[in-house]
Structure 1
Amino acid sequence: MQEFTTGTLRKPYSKLFGAFFSGLLASAAGVYLGQYLPKALTMPLWIAELILIFAMMFVRKHQSIGYLMMYAFMFISGLTLYSVLSIYTGMLGTTVVFQAFAVTTVAFGGIAVYTMVSKRDFSFLGGFLFLGLIALVIIPIVGIFVPFSSTTMMIYSGMGILIFIGYTLFDFSRLTVHGFTDQDIPMIVVSIYLDFINLFLYILQFIGIGSKN
């Protein structure tokens, strides 16, 4: 979901996926330690995540700092993710949550492989996806004042799933078509991590609403 450097077109995929999987380990460690996190720290950590994302945009030329911020972001994201996962685990059960994670992993991996093999350019989706992302932010705010029906919320969750499927296509398309450099890797890792996590959360939300019906 971010702009990548296009001055020197390279595709160091081994470094990219190595950084991505090591970042996932940092996130998993955060999820584990999240059970010990005081609830009062959840909001400050969400704010810290936003600050780190914006800060990474300005330090991308400093690769070592970029990696440090990337791991910090993914670890903090894991800490805050624990509270959300605990809610869905209590609501749906551990098995369903793991099944949703498996579905997300297969879908995400399939989309990534398809995009990289087909080498199709999905950059035209950028404007539509950004508008959809704004709608995903605005709708819950409106819902505070105007309660939505469960059907409406299922449609909202479905929209979230489609938007982050689109962002997965969009991000991997740019990597394949336009290339990237070593300096871009920390920001790319955070971007595709957010695609994966948001897809997972919207799938969980869709299943959760469906279970109530």
Structure 2
Amino acid sequence: MTQQTLYSTGASTLEVNKLLKNTYMLLSMTLAFSAVCAGMAMALQIGPMVSIGMSLGSLAILFVTLRKAESAAGLFWVFAFTGMQGASLGYILNHYAGMANGPELIMQALGLTSVIFVTLSGYAITTKKDFSFMRGFLIAGLVIMFVGLLVNMFLGNSMVFMALNAGIALLMTGFILYDTSRIINGGETNYIRATISLYLDFLNLFIALLHLMGIGGDD
């Protein structure tokens, strides 16, 4: 019985390690691909409507990706999704790049995002803590932020916009812990779905930090 338990534990550890390896490898590739697509969109100088259209289109692709996650076709769709997401950032990135310190601002936001992501993911992996208790709070917070952003589209209040992005940044730090914990503790066993979750955490954290860091320089 003891040997069987040890064998099961060892096999489980190997499976988790394999899942982590595949997830972070695919995550690195999709982030790099997104960066390339974002650069192309910046060069093409896409407008706000095209950016919105790409964002909406990526939601449809996301639905297909999740449906295909268990098949080999899922790899194609995850790159289609992340590529479209990256391209949709072209307009926002051009906006901030046009500021006096724009390129530095973008790199600072990207660097800070990377540090936060690696630190929190590393903490969750090292401690193996179960952050599933955060699920309800995170989902509720996400709904509140989404509604707030919709309302502020009509209000156009910069202070509200800053507060909402601060809230989104805080939520994404929680999601990084939560999503990494799900991989470690068996809540997620598919590396494509795991990659999508962590990709969205990283992307939304980056966008929120970029808005927060750039709003003061938008003169």
Which range, TM-score by smaller chain? Answer: 0.7 to 0.9
Using the alignment, how far apart are the partners of 1:28 and 1:170 within structure 2? 25
Q: Where in structure 1 are there 5+ consecutive unaligned residues? A: 1-7
1:24 aligns with 2:36: no
Deviations 1:150-197 (A, max 9, x none): 33332222111100001101100111112644xx11121111111001
1:79 aligns with 2:87: yes
Deviations 1:77-130 (A, max 9, x none): 111112111112223521121111111101110000001001111111111111
The residue that corresponds to 1:200 in the other structure is: 206
Are the counterparts in 1 of residues 162 and 212 from structure 2 also a CA contact under 8 Å?
yes
- Aligned identity (percent) is 27
Farther-moved stretch of structure 1 (65-74 vs 26-35): 26-35
Using the alignment, how far apart are the partners of 1:203 and 1:77 within structure 2? 17
The residue that corresponds to 1:5 in the other structure is: none
Structure 1 residue 212: Cα displacement: 5.5
Question: The residue matched to 2:22 in structure 1 has which SS?
Answer: helix
Using the alignment, how far apart are the partners of 2:191 and 2:129 within structure 1? 21
Using the alignment, how far apart are the partners of 1:42 and 1:151 within structure 2? 24
TM-score of the pair, normalised by structure 2? 0.84
The residue that corresponds to 1:56 in the other structure is: 65
Q: Max radius of gyration: which structure?
A: 2
Question: The residue matched to 2:119 in structure 1 has which SS?
Answer: helix
Are the counterparts in 1 of residues 45 and 91 from structure 2 also a CA contact under 8 Å?
no
Are the counterparts in 2 of residues 112 and 168 from structure 1 also a CA contact under 8 Å?
yes
Count of aligned pairs between the two proteins: 202
The residue that corresponds to 1:93 in the other structure is: 102
RMSD: 2.1
1:151 aligns with 2:159: yes
Residues 145, 19 of structure 1: CA spacing in aligned structure 2 closer, same or farther, 3 A cutoff?
A: closer
Using the alignment, how far apart are the partners of 1:37 and 1:187 within structure 2? 31
Farther-moved stretch of structure 1 (138-147 vs 191-200): 138-147
Q: Where in structure 2 are there 5+ consecutive unaligned residues? A: 1-10
Q: Which residue of 177, 189, 193 corresponds with 1:187? A: 193
Are the counterparts in 2 of residues 19 and 189 from structure 1 also a CA contact under 8 Å?
yes
Residues 212, 89 of structure 1: CA spacing in aligned structure 2 closer, same or farther, 3 A cutoff?
A: closer
Question: What letter is aligned with 1:201?
Answer: I
Are the counterparts in 2 of residues 30 and 75 from structure 1 also a CA contact under 8 Å?
yes
Residues 124, 66 of structure 1: CA spacing in aligned structure 2 closer, same or farther, 3 A cutoff?
A: same
Q: Which residue of 179, 186, 201 corresponds with 1:178? A: 186
1:169 aligns with 2:177: yes
Question: What letter is aligned with 1:31?
Answer: A
Question: The residue matched to 1:61 in structure 2 has which SS?
Answer: coil
Q: Which residue of 110, 117, 125 corresponds with 2:126? A: 117
Question: What letter is aligned with 1:80?
Answer: S
Question: What letter is aligned with 1:97?
Answer: I
The residue that corresponds to 1:131 in the other structure is: 140
Larger relative contact order (Cα-Cα within 8 Å, sequence gap ≥ 6): 1
TM-score of the pair, normalised by structure 1? 0.86
Structure 1 residue 147: Cα displacement: 4.0
Are the counterparts in 1 of residues 38 and 90 from structure 2 also a CA contact under 8 Å?
yes
